[in-house]
Structures are given as C-alpha cells and as structure tokens.
Amino acid sequence: MEDSILILILTAGFIGGFVDSAVGGGGLIRLPALLAAGLPSHTALATNKFGSTWAAGMSSAQYWMSGIVPKKAASIGWFLMLIMSILGAIAVTKISASWVIILVFIVLLVMFLYVLFKKEFGVEENIREDRIVPVTVSMSTVLGFYDGFLGPGTGNFLIAGYVKEAGFDMKRAAATSKIVNFGGNVGALILFASVGLVNYKVGIPFAIVNIIGGLLGSTYALKYGTKLLRPLFLIISFSLISKIGYDILLS
C-alpha cells in the first residue's frame, strides 16, 4: 500500500474516532477512506468495525469512570446490543435492506429537524429515573438489531432517545450511548472476525489512531459538554442524511 493511501486511512481513522466518540457517525469518515484505498466492501466494513470497536472500548471506559453514566442501565444496554446486533447481522444475509434504509432516512430527517428547531434539546437535564432502564431496554433491543442489520445512525438515535425519553443532557446521553453502542460493535466484530473478513495489516494501525481520536473525542465531550456537542451532533446528522439520501437516489 502506498504511503499516501496509508496516511489517508490513518487520518480518517483519527478524525472518525474523535467524531464517533463525541456524538457518533464516525463511520461516515472512516469507511469511504477504506473503500478509496481499494479494500473490497465487506473487508472495508469489517476492518472499519475492528478499528472502531477498539476505540469504542477505550472511550467507553473513560465515560464509565467519569461518573455520569447510569451504570445499571448501560450494562443492560451493552448486553442487549451485543446479542441483538449478532441477530441483525445474521438477518441481513436473508432479508433485503433496501426498504429499511428509506425508513431510516425519513426518521433521521425528522429527528434532525426536531433537534434543529428545538433549541433547548439536550441543553438542560430533567432526568426521569424511572424511565432510564425501560428506555435503554427498548432502544437496545431495536437499535441493536438495526446496528447489526444496517447500522448508519445508531449512535445518533441512541443520543436523541436518551435526551427525549430519559431527560438526559447531550453530554450524559453521548456518554451512555457510547457504552451501549459498544456492545453492538463487539457483536458485529465477532461475526466479521469469525469469517475472516478483517484486514489486520491495515486494521491494527487503523485501530491505534481510532483509539487516540476516540479518547480525545470523549475528553472533548466531557470537558465542553452540551454547548459544543449539540452543533456537532447536528453537523454529523446532516452529513448522514445527505449520504443516505444520495445512496437512495443512486439506487
């Protein structure tokens, strides 16, 4: 692999790790770089998951130790995401995903417009303790399956769900979502690795820069909180909507 291509991949891995840890959506940056480097699509997906899973693990540990995460709910969510993502990954081999991506596009667009025009979204907390575990269970079950089946926007949906339904601010929602979503990453990686799709020659250095970017991203989220997370969330959500919309038009 040429040095220039390797630099592109590592740069994308670092930036993607940062964004993913802060608000989700880092795959928008990482995956195109891996595809541009000439990796086959399934290998690119698996190698991206390898790098992002290591980064998610380190960032999750940082969020866990910060003290802002509801640990019981996050643990339940992690386990459910793990199981459901494996089931989703199995299902994707048997069911067409074309109709699902259209539904995801519509839901993401509605969510983006809601957050855009509701200026106080995620700014102040009004935590509803009795709803944290039920919200986590319902989101992890549905989004875990979706994460294994298709994937785009899982972190964004989790963050929005915690803010809207559990009363979290953006910082607590991002931290909890990262830990829950880590379970889905592990589940998908288990499947990818078991069938030999991960390119470890690219994946190991890719994972290292993802970890560095991820730790910086979680540090950013914990330090600056909602004030800067909300606009970053909107930017990534808009980028994701644009990418999915473009893919739908092409298909």
Q: What is the pLDDT of residue 232?
A: 81
Q: What is the pLDDT of residue 1?
A: 62
Q: pLDDT tens across 113-145, in order? A: 988 887 777 677 889 999 999 999 999 999 999
Q: Is the pLDDT of residue 240 over 90?
A: no
Distance CA 20, CA 48 (A): 12
Neighbours of 198 (CB within 10 A): 21
Instruction: Kindly give the residue spans of alpha helices, DSSP state H, lying in 97-169.
Output: 98-117, 129-149, 154-166
Q: Which residue has the higher pLDDT, 141 or 96?
A: 141
Distance CA 248, CA 74 (A): 34
Q: Indicate the domain borders of the chain.
A: 3-250
Residue 97: pLDDT band (50, 70, 90) is low
Distance CA 3, CA 186 (A): 30
Q: What is the pLDDT of residue 24?
A: 77
Q: Is the pLDDT of residue 26 over 90?
A: no
Q: pLDDT tens across 151-160, in order? A: 777 888 999 9
Assigned token pair, 174: 């991002």
Q: What is the pLDDT of residue 142?
A: 95
Per DSSP, the three-state class of 87 is helix
Distance CA 231, CA 55 (A): 23
Neighbours of 3 (CB within 10 A): 7
Q: pLDDT tens across 30-86, in order? A: 888 888 888 888 888 889 989 999 999 999 999 999 999 999 999 999 999 999 999
**What residue type is 97 in one-letter code?**
A
Q: What is the pLDDT of residue 93?
A: 66
Looking at the chain, the whole-number percentage of residues with pLDDT higher than 90 is: 47
Q: pLDDT tens across 191-223, in order? A: 889 989 899 999 999 999 999 999 999 998 888
Residue 96: pLDDT band (50, 70, 90) is low
Distance CA 37, CA 202 (A): 10
Q: Is the pLDDT of residue 226 over 80?
A: no
Closest by CA to 25, choosing from 207, 232, 191, is 232
Residue 180: pLDDT band (50, 70, 90) is very high
Distance CA 35, CA 136 (A): 33
Query: Which strand (E) or helix (H) includes residue 190?
Result: helix 170-194
CA dist list (Å): 7 to 47, 99, 147, 182, 235: 16, 36, 29, 26, 25
